[in-house]
Amino acid sequence: MPELPEVEYERRRLQRVMTCARIQRVVTRRANLRYAFPPDFAPRLESQTVVAVRRRAKYLLAELESGDVLLMHLGMSGGFRVADGDAEYDRHDHVIFELSTGAVVIFNDPRRFGFMTLLRADDIESHRALARLGPEPLSARFGAAILARALGRRRTPLKIALSDQRVIAGLGNIYVSEALYRARLSPKRRASTLVTRTGTPRPALDDLVRAIKDVLRVAIRNQYRTRAADPFLVYDREGERCPRRGCGGTITRIVQGGRSTFYCPVCQR
Q: Which residues are tagged catalytic?
A: 2-3, 58, 259
From 57, 263, 87, select the one nearest 164 (Cα to Cα): 57
Residue of 224, 206, 226, 87 lying closest to 147 (CA atoms): 206
260 burial via Cβ count (<10 Å: 0-12, 13-18, 19+): middle
Q: What is the dihedral of CA 167, 6, 56, 160, to 10 degrees?
A: -10
Burial track 103-125 (b if 16+ CB lie within 10 A, e otherwise): bbbbbbbeebebbbbbbeeeebe
Give the integer Cα–Cα distance in Å for 175 and 146. 19
Distance of CA 126 to CAs 135, 146, 171, 227, 252, Å? Answer: 15, 22, 21, 34, 40
Determine if residue 126 is left, alpha or beta; phi over 0 gives left, psi from -120 to 50 gives alpha, anything else beta.
alpha
Q: What residues contact residue 118 under an 8 Å CB cut-off, 6+ apart?
A: 38, 40, 41, 44, 45, 68, 69, 70, 71
What's the rounded Cα separation, in Å, for the pair 46 and 33? 20
